[in-house]
Chain A
Amino acid sequence: MTVTLKDEIICLEGWCGAEEAERLLILLQAAPGRGVDLARADQLHTALVQIIIAFRPPLTGKCGDPFLRDWVLPSLLPGNRNASEMLTSCDNSGDEYGDDCSDRR
């Protein structure tokens, strides 16, 4: 299972294929406003990226995939439109919340 819910945070782990999209969608639709933690995510299939873009959930955890972290996620942070600023806030949030999810192990 690469999409799990822990303490109202949806954790994406490892390689998330298209088949995980439905589960992510259900978890987000069930409680809009749930955060998504990408600290352990390696690569997300487009179907999951699309859900994150459409739902814009609060993102926590420094994303393990540099492409998503640097190019895709910054534009999704609330109120942030400037790429470089967004990158910083993404990193900060990673420091704050990243451990939450990793404790699980």
Chain B
Amino acid sequence: MEGLRDQFLVEGRELVENAAADLLALAGEPDRIDSAFRAVHTLKGATGLFDLKPMGALLHAAEDLLGALRDGTLSADGTLVDLLLKGIDQAARWLDCFEAADTLPADAPAVAQRLGAALRRKLPAAPPVLPQSEAAPDQPWILRLLAGLDPGAAETALTGTGLRAIRYLPTRQCFFDGDDPVALFRAIPELRAVSIAGREPWGPLESFDPFGCNLVLDGLSAAPAVEIRAALSSVLDQVQIVAVERQPMGHEPGGDAAGAKIDGSDAASRTFRVESDRIETLAGIADQVVIASNALAHLAAEARRGLSGEALVRGVLTSHAELERLSGQLHRAVMRVRLVPLAALFRSFPRLVREIGAQLGKKLDLSLQGEAIEIDKSLVDGLFEPILHLLRNAVDHGIEDSSQRLAAGKPPRGVITLGAKRLLETVAIDIADDGRGIDVETVRRTAVARGLLSAATAAALPEERALELLFAPGFSTASAVTDLSGRGVGLDAVRTAVARLGGHVMLSSRFGQGTSIRLSLPAAIVLTGIVTVECGGERYGVAMDDLVETLRLPADRVVPIRAGRAFTLRDRVVPIFNLAELLGVTASAPNGDLKLLVFGQGEAVSAVAVDGFGDRQSLLLRPRNGLLSGLRGIAGTALLGTGQILMVLDLAELVA
């Protein structure tokens, strides 16, 4: 089911984007209505595989409206297209929710009802709204099925994840459609009871019609609804599924997916598509690795037969050179597999910016540049929230109202540019607007008012340093807290999220003319300098970038402070933590000097005591995922040359 779900999410997003792009282009290219219709139709069909009834209902309404547009019984106008876009945007948000929480938010049925009704009102002759066949679990047919279970089985079944009652009413002509209802029904997993009976009275048997289906198939299954739907996916319009007892409720209702979360760390394991030629390249290299390894085996055989030392050395060197060449190729090929064009990241922004603009009543256009530039897949996932936040800021704080813009001698529609450039080993992503710019004096005043620094210091700051204050935690220049930007996350969160991806943020602004923000990111995952340390007999890694320094501290310089310990480093008191305690392992007995890792910035410098220092290496740091994703204080893992996995610690998180 996982595979099906992943595929649905990938394709669902594509369909949503296609439909939105088609609708936006409709004014110039009316033919694209066909493509929009097909996209929505396909997506609607796919929702049937999962528990996404409200989404299906909404898309159904959109599909009807698109059908009417396609058939010419209705003509497209701006409000109609906006309404359709709204529906499709909602579907996109639900896809995000579904991915995050496996379910739709609690308000989904109401939202679907409202949006669907709005869409249907536009239809020439509105067809009756389909009844939501949400059957109550106390219907006679369900009670009959439950009564048929023997008491023990019923109890077992109900105390687990509950049962789902399935009623399948095949159409009369279903045999002609190639359906075999019994065969479909038997494929339902974990059946606990089945009843197949006549639907209408049979009538006189002499005139029995063997080609008309007159059956009702009822059943109880302990499988999740999604699996039942998958088994009956071709006939879902004829199927009713009712939860008999409590469903597994392991999930929080999905919140506002495009909301305040701005943490680049949630490396969602999204599926992504890889061009087939990149896979072929990998396969080609794999073949060559096999050949190289055979050559090595051959060499070993020769050595056993008494190959001379000289010749053996030559053979090993040749083999090594070949393997080194291949491993380099392999690394590059894998990197290329992981590279995805920025278009994948950028394509949802026009829709979101449109939405934000509409909410704030701002007239603006988003222009995209450099979508073909490729970056590592992991960066794409982590960049979405920061960029969205910056775009939201640009719309909310940057772009002025049309009247203000006209008064300032600017065109009435604002322009936001989201562009990417490749600069050597980095990719620069620029978010620029032609709005009001940032008033440095306001920034200074606000920073003083927030108590971030004194008035004198603020006044003395040069302009570019003053703009830096925008990134200070807790800073926000917006006097009115709006729904969009006033979420308590500021540029500091953007900076943190981008830093987590190995990048940094720069801001420049000209008052009255606009603001430009550049995110500089590594084009590919780079090797991280890692120092290994020993603690409790285990080896751990620490990223060198995190460290201020490593030092040996004579025991007599340690000062006890309350329950803890500290020492003085360049006139600053630095607390000492014990890594073994932080990790909950047994430390070896301390002897002599303390071995300390000093890390952190500004006032937050701390030190962690370890049993010993190891060597320094450049390793590919893999972000924590899978089982590790829930572990605090682990930055990721790195594969050592010996094939061992090294846990790389996030010291700041560990002591936090």
Chain A residues engaging chain B, CB cutoff 8 angstroms: 18, 21-22, 24-25, 28-29, 32, 43-47, 49-51, 53-55, 67-68, 71-72, 75, 83-84
Contacts and interface: CB of A to CB of B under 8 A. Distances in A.
Contacts of B195: 75
Nearest to B191: A71
A59 B170 CA distance: 25
Given A72-B196, A83-B148, A50 B206 contact: no
Interface stretch (B180-188, B525-533, B583-591): B180-188
A34 to B, nearest CB: 13
A50 B180 contact: no
Contacts of A46: 170, 175, 179-183, 213, 215
A18 B170 CA distance: 15
Contacts of B150: 84
Indicate the member of B175, B193, B206 with the most A CB atoms within 10 Å. Answer: B175
Contacts of A29: 205-206, 208
A25 B205 CA distance: 9
A54 B205 CA distance: 8
A51 B208 contact: yes
Contacts of A24: 210
Contact of B194 (A22, A45, A47, A71): A71
Indicate the member of B175, B180, B210 with the most A CB atoms within 10 Å. Answer: B210
26 contacts: A18-B175, A18-B180, A29-B206, A43-B183, A46-B180, A46-B183, A46-B215, A47-B175, A47-B213, A49-B182, A49-B215, A50-B213, A50-B215, A53-B196, A53-B197, A53-B198, A54-B198, A54-B208, A55-B208, A67-B182, A67-B186, A67-B194, A71-B193, A72-B182, A72-B196, A84-B150
Given A54-B198, A84-B150, A25 B208 contact: yes
Contacts of B183: 43, 45-46
Contacts of B175: 18, 45-47
Interface in B136-154: 148, 150
B215 A53 contact: yes
A28 B206 CA distance: 10
B291 to A, nearest CB: 49
Contact of A22 (B148, B181, B205, B210): B210
Contact of B210 (A25, A53, A68, A71): A25
Nearest to A72: B196
B272 interface: no
Nearest to A50: B215
If over half of A's interface residues share one DSSP class (helix, strand or loop), that class is named, otherwise mixed; here it is: helix
Contacts of B211: 18, 21, 47
A29 B209 CA distance: 12
A83 B183 CA distance: 21
B202 interface: yes
Closest 10 CB pairs of A and B: A71-B194, A21-B210, A46-B182, A67-B186, A54-B202, A46-B181, A25-B210, A49-B182, A46-B180, A83-B148
Nearest to B194: A71
B214 A50 contact: yes
A70 to B, nearest CB: 8
A79 to B, nearest CB: 16
Nearest to A32: B205
Interface string B161-188: 0000000001000010001111100100
A102 B61 CA distance: 57
A72 B205 contact: no
A44 B185 CA distance: 13
B284 to A, nearest CB: 45
B182 to A, nearest CB: 4
Nearest to B201: A54
Nearest to A25: B210
Indicate the member of A24, A43, A50, A68 with the most B CB atoms within 10 Å. Answer: A50
Interface in B568-598: none
B197 A55 contact: no
Contacts of B180: 18, 45-46
A67 B185 CA distance: 10
Contacts of A72: 182, 194, 196
Contacts of A44: 182
Interface in B485-535: none
B536 to A, nearest CB: 56
A21 to B, nearest CB: 4
A67 B186 CA distance: 7
B91 to A, nearest CB: 35
Contacts of A55: 205, 208
A22 B211 CA distance: 8
Contacts of A83: 148, 193
Contacts of B205: 28-29, 32, 54-55
A17 B332 CA distance: 55
Nearest to B214: A50
A71 B210 CA distance: 22
Nearest to B192: A71
B333 to A, nearest CB: 48
B380 to A, nearest CB: 47
A75 to B, nearest CB: 7
Contacts of A47: 175, 210-211, 213
